[in-house]
Structures are given as structure tokens and as C-alpha cells.
Amino acid sequence: MLNRLVDVLYPPACLLCHASLSPLFAAPLGPNRRGPMLCGDCASRMEWSGRPVCLRCGVGLPGAFDAAIECQRCRSAPPAFAMARAPWRYVGVTQTAIRQFKYHRHWRIGAWLAEGMTMVAQSSLPLNDIALVVPVPLHWLKHQLKGTNPAEQLAQHVARALEKPCRPRALRRARWTRTQTTLSAQRRLQNVKGAFIAKRQLVADRSILLVDDVLTSGATADACARALTAAGARRVIVLAAARTPLE
């Protein structure tokens, strides 16, 4: 009754376009059934990754006729992680949604993104083998300046939905690195090389689900996976909210 009264006084609106979220126009509820957060129009314009994708890094392969294939980058320089998946392509409305979540503290959008990530994990990943969920860490100073780590928030939501333990302290960023957004693919690799350290007592002999918001070149995920496997992790699987398409 209280919830209905609140909805009457403060009608729910789409977190992106602010349109009415009456049952007729709201997007379907996700697996956690938190209630509508985006309108059907915004949700429908978030482009799903779909198939075919590279079996290793999860990037979409336009025109590929066989899903059992790896992209050229993974064939020439295989990443340290076993596989990576993401529900959405990092374009259009999805890009807007993730930026609102990361830079404008719209935490409920993060919950919505995590629901999509959970669905992809349940349909595409070997969950029975995964022991821990670990977010890509921020440098401690950047964490202090921002006050939060978006990847950690996503990881907490996903871990709770998958009924897996989340261990943010299993991996740390040992040095400050430049933001990856302005760097070329090769410079991204150099920027994060050796930047992470994992705790052996937490990850040894375990398969890890590494969570991030956006997977672009895969350089950060690769560096994290190398740190985790160096500490004894059996394998690393990456789950992101969105994947940048091939250029």
C-alpha cells in the first residue's frame, strides 16, 4: 500500500529519458524483479551483442557465418583470460546508460545493467566452475577521489544474483595508470602491463569471474587475468556490461 501511494505521489520515470514508467510503457522486469527502471523504448534501443561473437573475447563478428570462431586479434595474441562476454554493444543508448551510471552516480542504472549481465552469465558462462566474483579494481587514490568503483558495484549485484562470493580485495591496482579511453590498443597494453597484483590466498586453485563495466581492447582484463593466474587462479572469465564493437 505504501509503495502504491509513493507511485501516485511520485510517478516512476525512465532513468534515461524520464518518460512515464506505467506498466504499459515500462521495460520488462529482469531476473531480480526490482521494478521498472527504463522505459520500453530506451531498453529496446540498447543493442544486444548477439551472435556470432569471438569465442575468446566476445567481440561481435559481423558477417561471420560460424559462431565457433575467434577474431584475428585473439588468434594472433591470445589474451590471458579464457573467455569474455557482455550483454550489450557499447553504442548509442547503452553508452549513455553506462556513462550515467559511471559518471553521474545513477546507481539504479547499474542495477539494471547487472541484471542483463546476470542473464548473459547464466546462459553463456560455465557457472558451476566459477568460485569467486572479482571486480576490476581502481587505484586506491582514484577510488578515494571518486568515492566508489562502478565495476565493484556491478560485481556485487552479479555475485548476489549468481549466489557467488564477491571478493573486491582479491585484486588490487599496484600503480596509478592513465585512463585508457584516449590510448591506442598498443598503448593500452603498455599502460596497464604489470599494474595489478592478486592475493594468492584468495584466488589460488579457483576459477574467477572478473567483472568490469566496459570491455574495449581487452588490455585491462588481460592484465588483471595475468595477475590472477600468476597468483594461482585456474582460469579467468570476464563479464562486462558492454563490449565495444570492432572498428
| 27 pLDDT higher than 60 | no
> Pairing between strand 235-243 and 130-135?
unpaired
pLDDT for res 8: 53
Domain identity same for 101 and 187: yes
What is the span of the domain harbouring residue 23?
Answer: 1-45
Domain identity same for 22 and 144: no
pLDDT for res 7: 56
Residue 189 near residue 222, CB atoms below 8 Å: yes
Domain identity same for 169 and 201: yes
Domain identity same for 118 and 84: yes
Domain identity same for 100 and 122: yes
CATH for 132? 3.40.50
**Distance between CA 189 and CA 202 in Å, rounded?**
26
**Distance between CA 238 and CA 105 in Å, rounded?**
24
Domain identity same for 5 and 87: no
Domain identity same for 37 and 155: no
Q: Work out the pLDDT band at 10, boundaries 50, 70, 90.
A: low
Domain identity same for 99 and 163: yes
| 153 pLDDT higher than 50 | yes
Name which of 94, 45, 63 is nearest 244 in CA terms: 94
20 vs 26, which has greater pLDDT?
Answer: 20
Domain identity same for 11 and 120: no
Q: Work out the pLDDT band at 199, boundaries 50, 70, 90.
A: very high
Report the pLDDT averaged over residues 127-151: 90
83-94 per-residue burial string, b: 16 or more CB within 10 A, e: under 16: bbbbbbbbeebb
Mean per-residue pLDDT over the chain, rounded: 86
Domain total of the chain: 2
Domain identity same for 141 and 55: yes
Domain identity same for 195 and 177: yes
Domain identity same for 36 and 158: no
The overall longest dimension of the chain from CA atoms, in Å, is 59
pLDDT for res 61: 83
Q: CB count, 10 Å around CB of 138?
A: 20
